[in-house]
Amino acid sequence: MTRALVIAPQWIGDAVMTEPLLARLHARGERLAVGALPWVAPVYRAMPQVSEVIEFPFAHGGLQLRGRRQLARQVHDRFDVAYICPNSLKSALLPFLAGIPKRVGYLGEARVGLLTHRLRNPAKGQRPPMVAFYSALSGEADLTHDRPHLQLASADVDANLAALGLQRGGYCVLAPGAEYGPAKRWPTRHFAALADQLALPVVLLGAAKEAEMCAEIMRSATTANIVNLAGKTTLAQALSVICATKFMMSNDSGLMHVGAGFGVPQVAIFGSSSPLHTPPLNAAAQVLWLKSDPAYQPALDCAPCFERVCPLGHTRCLNDITPAMVRQHLPL
């Protein structure tokens, strides 16, 4: 059996989008260990094909060469092949230092010598959807139908929900955050107005840095049937909350991809980014993107700009998506 180490991306959404790659590797008999940073490791524990999750003790920034050498000594001789999902130099260092014989990854950041099997990195404007981008590391063809699938043990879901005072299907999730920047975030006033129109209890989910944003939604909403869990859950708990929700509404974010991985009914809003590149691959997903709406005028010739902040200062791509437009796509 081939022993494989997969070096995971550092973002939750990207981690979800690597699942089809892992499914392909597992299907051909490879035993999978995933090396992941602590904040994305719970995503890989929701992938049954993963035999082991190795949490990397690294932080953002810097090569942290000493730590990588120490970890490389620990995994030396344990793996036959490494699949390196990120494009960075530092992500390819550990497999190289560990002497893993076959090291597969995309060219980039002067890491030619660190890889034994190199894939050409498409130009930014020519890059395929991210799921296919990651799945191509398998060396297989016909990547267009890959969809991520996540799975949690029912007992774990029930325990996490009980700890948060929630019941399966008894609430809906709104996730107003997006790590990338405000040009990917639907306005908080719109989230508040939408919450006021929903009959189900509303759960606000997000990271600790999004707690104030969610608090603003609560202050602006008139409904009392709303709870702010931003920054109050572990990622494992947040996965359970999303897994058991009646439906979910979010921006283009990591939690959006989590919802897609669990196949929950969802509405995803896109602003500066593009659903052609990072769509929620979920048959139960609805995408709202004014760029693709022929009835919206004047047309959004500026989209997708992929900027963190609207360079034109109006953010029409998000401001002009009304709560009523979202509500009509929700499974109420």
The sign of the torsion formed by the CA atoms of 79, 81, 84, 88 equals positive
- Residue 260 sits in the same domain as residue 171: yes
Retrieve residue 262's tokens: 């669990």
Domain housing 283: 154-327
Both ends of the chain: CA-CA distance in Å?
Answer: 48
- Residue 116 sits in the same domain as residue 158: no
What pLDDT shows up at residue 218?
97
Helix ranges restricted to H, the chain: 12-17, 19-27, 41-44, 65-75, 89-97, 130-135, 154-164, 188-196, 211-220, 235-243, 254-262, 316-319, 323-327
- Residue 134 sits in the same domain as residue 178: no
- Residue 54 sits in the same domain as residue 189: no
- Residue 122 sits in the same domain as residue 226: no
- Residue 120 sits in the same domain as residue 194: no
Local structure of 162: helix, strand or coil: helix
- Residue 132 sits in the same domain as residue 195: no
192 lies in some domain? yes
The sign of the torsion formed by the CA atoms of 138, 139, 142, 144 equals positive
Q: Answer with the one of 138, 169, 197 that is the final residue of a domain.
A: 138
- Residue 132 sits in the same domain as residue 226: no
Q: Answer with the one of 138, 173, 189 that is the final residue of a domain.
A: 138
- Residue 98 sits in the same domain as residue 201: no
What pLDDT shows up at residue 127?
81
Place of tokens 């991985």: 261
DSSP E strand boundaries for 59-186: 81-84, 102-106, 117-119, 172-175
- Residue 190 sits in the same domain as residue 318: yes
- CATH number of 206's domain: 3.40.50.2000
Domain count, the chain: 2
Reported pTM: 0.95
CA separation for the pair 140, 32 (Å, rounded): 17
35 lies in some domain? yes
- Residue 172 sits in the same domain as residue 299: yes
- Residue 15 sits in the same domain as residue 126: yes
pLDDT tens, the chain, 332 aa long: 999 999 999 999 999 999 999 999 999 999 999 999 999 999 999 999 999 999 998 877 777 888 899 999 999 999 999 999 999 999 999 999 999 999 999 998 889 999 999 999 888 778 889 999 999 999 998 888 899 999 999 999 999 999 999 999 999 999 999 989 999 999 999 999 999 999 999 999 999 999 999 999 999 999 999 999 999 999 999 999 999 999 999 999 999 999 999 999 999 999 999 999 999 999 999 999 999 999 999 999 999 999 999 999 999 999 999 999 999 999 87
